[in-house]
Amino acid sequence: DTEVTQTPKHLVMGMTNKKSLKCEQHMGHRAMYWYKQKAKKPPELMFVYSYEKLSINESVPSRFSPECPNSSLLNLHLHALQPEDSALYLCASSHYTGQSSGGYTFGSGTRLTVV
Amino acid sequence: GQSLEQPSEVTAVEGAIVQINCTYQTSGFYGLSWYQQHDGGAPTFLSYNALDGLEETGRFSSFLSRSDSYGYLLLQELQMKDSASYFCAVRALGNTPLVFGKGTRLSVIA
């Protein structure tokens, strides 16, 4: 299995809702990432998990809460989002965070719309 | 920190060759990567240069010159399906994740 699977593919939520994005990989990768991507912009790093521990939080607002239940799963819990949080949320995984391996495998993303 | 510069848009004709350049500023890094992203899709890993020189994978080649802080992605025999955004990316030394350039939108025309 060489894929990163993200669910749901599309999500519309109100500003008072609580929802979760899910990401799963079975490639044995020990680093997992959440990126946010706005239209015509590059992916912007949000969080990094290395060996199931949060290693990087890029000053993301607390309304985004990541969770890594095990080495294959990564969740992003959403609460009280703002319309400007509407974006494509990408999950990725890789073998290492700090070694020379170049390749990240990305999921197809969750297209989030906050209304 | 790191910064990467690449052209925002490139247009090329089907069957032609196109080169997408990437210049970077970083104090030290493992290598230069390239990703392709079609509209509405996920970024897909294309290539990785850890050492100076040219890496070839089918129609795509990537080049790195550390002394010039410069790399490029070369696409040959362009096809319409190559229309996409292309991102260069670096991972700085240490326990750091990938940082992406702003992306180059390639449009292949008939």
Q: How far apart are CA A101 and CA B30, in angstroms?
A: 8
Backbone angles phi, psi at B87, to 5 degrees: -115, 130
The DSSP secondary-structure symbol of B6 reads -
Give first-to-last CA distance, chain B, whole Å: 40
Amino acid at position B86, single letter? Y
Q: What angle do CA A102, A106, A111 make, to 5 degrees?
A: 150
Output the pLDDT for position B75: 98
Place of tokens 């990408």: A90
Output the pLDDT for position B29: 82
* H/E run at residue A11: strand A10-13
Q: For the segment A67-83, what is each residue's pLDDT rounded down to a tens digit?
A: 999 999 999 999 999 99
Percentage with pLDDT > 70 across chain A = 92
- Is it the case that residue A100 has pLDDT exceeding 60? no
* Nearest neighbour of B42 by CB, restricted to A31, A100, A107: A107
Give first-to-last CA distance, chain A, whole Å: 36
CB distance B48–A103 less than 8 Å? yes
CB distance A102–B101 less than 8 Å? no
Higher pLDDT, A56 or B96: A56
Q: How confident is the model at residue A98 (pLDDT cuts 50, 70, 90)?
A: low
* Nearest neighbour of B97 by CB, restricted to A42, A45, A109: A45
CB distance B103–A41 less than 8 Å? yes
Q: Does B5 touch chain A (CB under 8 A)?
A: no
* Nearest neighbour of B100 by CB, restricted to A42, A48, A50: A42
Longest Cα–Cα distance in chain B: 45
Output the pLDDT for position B28: 82
Contact yes or no for A47/A54 (Cβ under 8 A): yes
Q: For the segment B55-92, what is each residue's pLDDT rounded down to a tens digit?
A: 998 999 999 999 999 999 999 999 999 999 999 998 87
Contact yes or no for B110/B80 (Cβ under 8 A): yes
**Token code pair at residue A108:** 């197809």
Of the candidates A25, A27, A20, the residue with the CA atom closest to the CA atom of residue A75 = A20
Window 31-70 of B: residues touching A by CB (8 A cutoff) are 31, 33, 35, 41-45, 47-48, 50
Chain B residues in contact with A108 (beta carbon < 8 A): 41-42
